[in-house]
């Protein structure tokens, strides 16, 4: 641990325990792959979403892939745009997953406010799922079905605004799950039906699945946030303001999503508690935020 800390300069936007880096590098050196581990660790990757801010984490995932660290993870948890980026990473196409943001999504084919008064949602998930991930930068959907390091997609149940993991079993299921987790209330169309429930953006109820990964037995967790360290507000929210509660009643999830930086309070507290010695089972957390521009 000491050698890793001395060898790596910790930027301001990197917070937590560099033991996560140590075990990742050890696995890379040992050419360890999921399903054939010899160490006692369970390493989870937690990827945040956030619409076009997802370009930050997509770039981080591309860096991990280029460093040969994809096979070092045992599982990944992700929601919203982060779910698509995590899917690209786990299937070996993080480069194209990152490139789709400037090359395909920064366009009116994907986001067009003129559609507020014209047919179609402002954010076109049809274009994203069918054209970008299907044709322009094809995602290897079939590889997700049998991935040795499973992707656990988190979405929000529209009826009670609670977060759940989805369990897709087929390629069509995976396309629905990614769509469900990225469906922004109001702007991206109606809630997506899947497994008998209706779902919207996973980050409405759970911006980061850090606690979920720890509850699943992870010993080391690498957390990727799409917001910069200057954008994160650690102050707790006692309750949503009345206008956010009203928005949630009118369009489930909209008011909660509008809280922006304040929605990360619980996740930041988890990370901070582990840094200050609050890890009951000795877990290790490392969080990377987007650097201040």
Residue 176's nearest CA partner among 133, 116, 119 is 133
Please report the pLDDT score of residue 251 as a whole number: 62
- 60 burial level (CB within 10 Å; 0-12, 13-18, 19+): buried
pLDDT per 10-residue tile (average), the chain, 293 residues: 40 76 96 90 93 91 97 96 97 97 96 84 94 97 94 93 93 96 84 93 88 95 79 57 62 60 66 67 85 61
Q: How many helices (H) and strands (E) does the chain have?
A: 12, 9
Predicted confidence (pLDDT) per residue in 113-167, tens digit: 888 877 778 899 999 999 999 999 999 999 999 999 999 999 999 888 889 999 9
> Where do we find the tokens 């995602």?
139
- Its pTM stands at 0.86
User: What's the full length of the chain, in residues?
Assistant: 293
Cα dihedral across residues 12, 14, 17, 21: positive or negative? negative
Gap between the Cα atoms of 3 and 103, Å rounded: 40
């Amino acid at each position: 641990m000491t050698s890793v800390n001395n060898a790596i300069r910790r930027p301001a936007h990197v917070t937590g325990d560099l033991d996560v880096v140590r075990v990742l590098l050890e696995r890379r050196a040992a050419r360890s792959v999921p399903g054939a581990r010899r160490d006692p660790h369970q390493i989870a990757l937690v990827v945040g979403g956030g619409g076009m801010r997802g370009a930050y984490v997509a770039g981080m995932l591309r860096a991990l892939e280029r460093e040969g660290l994809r096979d070092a993870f045992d599982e990944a948890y992700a929601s919203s745009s982060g779910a698509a980026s995590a899917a690209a990473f786990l299937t070996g196409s993080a480069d194209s997953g990152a490139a789709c943001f400037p090359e395909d999504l920064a366009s009116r084919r994907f986001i067009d406010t003129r559609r507020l008064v014209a047919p179609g949602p402002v954010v076109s998930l049809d274009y994203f799922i069918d054209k970008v991930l299907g044709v322009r930068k094809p995602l290897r959907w079939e590889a997700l079905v049998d991935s040795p390091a499973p992707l656990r997609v988190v979405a929000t149940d529209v009826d009670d605004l609670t977060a759940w993991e989805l369990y897709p079993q087929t390629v069509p299921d995976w396309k629905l799950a990614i769509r469900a987790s990225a469906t922004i209330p109001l702007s991206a169309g109606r809630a997506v039906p899947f497994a008998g429930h209706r779902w919207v953006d996973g980050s409405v109820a759970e911006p980061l699945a850090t606690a979920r990964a720890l509850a699943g037995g992870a010993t080391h967790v690498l957390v990727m946030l799409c917001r910069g360290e200057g954008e994160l507000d650690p102050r707790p929210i006692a309750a949503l303001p009345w206008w956010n509660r009203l928005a949630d009643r009118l369009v489930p999830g909209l008011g909660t999503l509008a809280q922006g930086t304040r929605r990360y309070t619980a996740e930041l507290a988890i990370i901070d508690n582990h840094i200050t010695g609050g890890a009951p089972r000795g877990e290790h957390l490392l969080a990377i935020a987007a650097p201040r521009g």
